[in-house]
Amino acid sequence: MQFNDYLALHKRRVNDLFYGFHFLFGNKCNMIRSLFEKRSSHYMNIM
Please state the length of the chain. 47
What is the C-alpha to C-alpha distance for residues 33 and 13, in angstroms, rounded to an integer?
Answer: 30
DSSP three-state, residue 47: coil
Q: What is the pTM of this model?
A: 0.41
Digit-coded pLDDT (tens) for 9-43: 889 998 888 888 878 787 787 888 888 888 877 77
pLDDT value, residue 16 = 87
Reference 12, options 27, 23, 4, 24; nearest CA is 4
H helix intervals, 1-47: 2-46
Higher pLDDT, 31 or 44: 31
